[in-house]
Structure 1
Amino acid sequence: MDEKILKSLDSSEKEDFQKGLKFLIEQTFVVENAYNQLIKNHTELMQTMNEIIEVLPMALWVLDTNKKITLQNNLANQQPKLLEKIDLEKTHYELEFDHKFYLIKVTSHADKLIVSATDISDEKRNERLASMGTVAAHLAHEIRNPIGSISLLSSTLFERSELKNKHIVLEIQKAISRVERIVNSTLLFTKGVHVNLNEFNLKELQDECEQAIGAYNYLANIDFTFEFLDLKINADKSLLALVLQNLLYNAIDAIEESENDDGCIKVKCEQKEDRVVIKVYDNGVSIKDKKMVFEAFKTTKLKGNGLGLSLSKQIIDAHNGVLGFDENPKCFFIELKI
């Protein structure tokens, strides 16, 4: 303030002026503190909002009027090309992209567009499996009766056949057994797996494996090695034998698809503290689509129906175990609690 004006003020006016100036300074500090608190609250709010959108089970984008991204979560960041495929004119629809299904929602708020994409691939898969399972179960029931009759007739034919023709009937019976396995696996898959736990020795599974191999048609020269532990476990023996049967058949098929003159399949057991691991090794062709290996009705084999590994996983899951796959060396493994 001009010094002349200050000198022109009497003492009371100067006192009032000083009080007013002091009040103004105090209010300035109040406003500044309020502003700083507002900035802090805004920052905390943005952090909270970012944390919220990060835990959302969907990809989320916020776009401005120019369709530029102003905010996105990590799931959206992992799918940079997904947003390009979304029709922003539609508010609610399903989109198939990169072998997955997404539920797309587009809403507007003020001058922003909020776009979300929820992965519904599992729901779609379950719907498809339920539909396919219903059809498969119906077909399995329809097939079971005539197969039973054919099996009885083949037994009669075997007894009446000359010795030189008996091997033909045996091949017919093996083919019938294969159809019966498919029917039983299909019904088990559609009805759901229920385990009946009993104590038995792991060595008993070797006989089951050898019988399964004897009932399977294959032409390759394969050397089988079994190393079962003399160990008792509490599990469903028949279902566990079915899993090993499926793994052995997959191994045989993999060898037949390979160019190996001498196939090798090895079943080995290992004990790891309170768990046992059963591994099935083979030197056949590698698995092409590892992501779909346990997917039901997915197969590239001429012999397969796409249920073996999926059903096997259901069985091991019902035992609270683990069914997995290793590449080097190639093997499937079963891990169970003793």
Structure 2
Amino acid sequence: MDLPKDQKELLSNLETLIEKTYEIEKEFIELKNILNGVIEFLPQALWVKDGSGEIIAQNSKSKKFKTIPNIGEIEIDNRVYLIQSSIIKDKTIISATDITEQKRNERLIAMGQMAAHLAHEIRNPIGSISILISLLKKQCPNSELLDEMKSSVFRIERIIKSTLLFSKGLKPKIRSFLLSELKNELEISIKYYSYSKEINFLFFMPDMEIKADFDLLLLVLQNMLFNAIDAIEEDETEEGLIEILYESTDNYHVINIYDNGKEFENEDILFEPFKSTKTKGNGLGLALSLEIINAHNGKIEVSKQKKGFKIYLPKACDD
């Protein structure tokens, strides 16, 4: 039975309305998915609450929080977050931004400035003490007490030098030299460093020419060497072994530093400035070493074969 004309028009309009409704619903779902994608893409944890306080949207980064945190700075699992909120009509948007690195950098700048000031204050009197020890040593050449004092002053001078380098920044002065020159300087440094155990030192640093900043690279190897000595001193082993061995790859000069001392307690903070698990540590040696090697476009890795480090210096510097 044919429907009246007005009913046909009504039915046609209804079908058109239903189709438009489906299209609008489809577009709404697409827009919602895009919005969820944008929310998920954001680096912050994000919550959206309606007027009743119900959460109507959130991203996966928010799942690490048990509850929505209060506004301000909070610390969770050694990470610092800045919590902020904004109200748009009847919706409340809350975000949590990880500012751990920003806080770390602020802390390091403050600590670096303080350490540099202290280093400057200590530098002059330590220089005078060093001169007096040298004069006394001429009068009492066999004094063990003076030898111990000289070793202590040598350690303080190294800390001062490291502190000032760390706070001022690095500009390597590249020149050619032989690896064996570094070996000779390291052997001299050992004589100034006090330790009580029997330690064997094995060097393989041939008469091979490389290009780098000699003084800075020596400081890196001294830091590694003295760390190895300290690790052996803190370990239960009666006899220590430290190896500093050179090897060559296609693209890198590699210097390996191994020891049989105490294992690393926490590899995550090895290169963190002002953090140390050593009894004698000041937390600057490895952090500065990493900066020095980075300034040479190289890298430092924790060895996977034996306890120690691998230093990579690019051969491109030799060209």
Structure-2 change in CA distance of 1:146 and 1:71 (3 Å)? same
Of all paired residues, the percent bearing the same amino acid is 44
Matched, 1:49 2:35: yes
What is the CA–CA distance in structure 2 between the aligned matches of 1:232 and 1:76, rounded to whole Å? 54
What is the CA–CA distance in structure 1 between the aligned matches of 2:270 and 2:76, rounded to whole Å? 21
Matched, 1:157 2:136: yes
What is the CA–CA distance in structure 1 between the aligned matches of 2:213 and 2:273, rounded to whole Å? 22
Q: Select which of 128, 133, 140 maps to 2:107.
A: 128
Corresponding pairs, count: 315
Q: How does 1:12-161 map to 2 (within 5 A)?
A: 17-18=4-5, 20=6, 23-63=9-49, 69-77=55-63, 79-81=64-66, 83=67, 86-87=69-70, 90=71, 93-161=72-140
Output the amino acid matched with 1:134: Q
Q: State the secondary structure of the residue aligned to 2:303.
A: strand
Output the amino acid matched with 1:178: R
| 1:229/1:270 contact within 8 Å kept | no
Structure-2 change in CA distance of 1:235 and 1:68 (3 Å)? farther
For normalisation by structure 2, the TM-score amounts to 0.89
Deviates more, 1:172-181 or 1:50-59: 50-59
Q: CA deviation at 1:324?
A: 2.5
Structure-2 change in CA distance of 1:235 and 1:73 (3 Å)? farther
Structure-2 change in CA distance of 1:228 and 1:238 (3 Å)? same
* Residue of structure 2 equivalent to 1:260: 237
Structure-2 change in CA distance of 1:32 and 1:197 (3 Å)? farther
What is the CA–CA distance in structure 1 between the aligned matches of 2:264 and 2:183, rounded to whole Å? 25
Matched, 1:239 2:216: yes
Q: CA deviation at 1:181?
A: 0.7
What is the CA–CA distance in structure 2 between the aligned matches of 1:201 and 1:69, rounded to whole Å? 66
What is the CA–CA distance in structure 2 between the aligned matches of 1:217 and 1:264, rounded to whole Å? 16
What is the CA–CA distance in structure 1 between the aligned matches of 2:22 and 2:256, rounded to whole Å? 64
Q: Select which of 171, 179, 192 maps to 2:156.
A: 179
Q: State the secondary structure of the residue aligned to 1:173.
A: helix
Structure-2 change in CA distance of 1:98 and 1:37 (3 Å)? same
Structure-2 change in CA distance of 1:262 and 1:66 (3 Å)? farther
Q: Select which of 259, 270, 293 maps to 2:270.
A: 293
Q: CA deviation at 1:320?
A: 1.7
Output the amino acid matched with 2:195: Y
Q: CA deviation at 1:322?
A: 1.3
* Residue of structure 2 equivalent to 1:283: 260
Structure-2 change in CA distance of 1:192 and 1:27 (3 Å)? same
Structure-2 change in CA distance of 1:64 and 1:201 (3 Å)? farther
Q: State the secondary structure of the residue aligned to 1:177.
A: helix
Q: Give structure 2 stretches of 5+ with no counterpart.
A: none
What is the CA–CA distance in structure 2 between the aligned matches of 1:50 and 1:205, rounded to whole Å? 58
Larger radius of gyration: 1
Structure-2 change in CA distance of 1:64 and 1:207 (3 Å)? farther
Structure-2 change in CA distance of 1:40 and 1:148 (3 Å)? same
Output the amino acid matched with 2:109: A
**C-alpha offsets along residues 268-298 of structure 1, whole Å, 9 cap, x if unaligned?**
2232321222221112112222222111111
Q: CA deviation at 1:217?
A: 1.0
Q: Give structure 1 stretches of 5+ with no counterpart.
A: 7-13
What is the CA–CA distance in structure 1 between the aligned matches of 2:234 and 2:164, rounded to whole Å? 28
| 2:265/2:277 contact within 8 Å kept | no
**C-alpha offsets along residues 239-261 of structure 1, whole Å, 9 cap, x if unaligned?**
11111111111111111111011
* Residue of structure 1 equivalent to 2:290: 313
**C-alpha offsets along residues 109-149 of structure 1, whole Å, 9 cap, x if unaligned?**
45544221111111111111111111111111111111111
What is the CA–CA distance in structure 2 between the aligned matches of 1:37 and 1:305, rounded to whole Å? 67
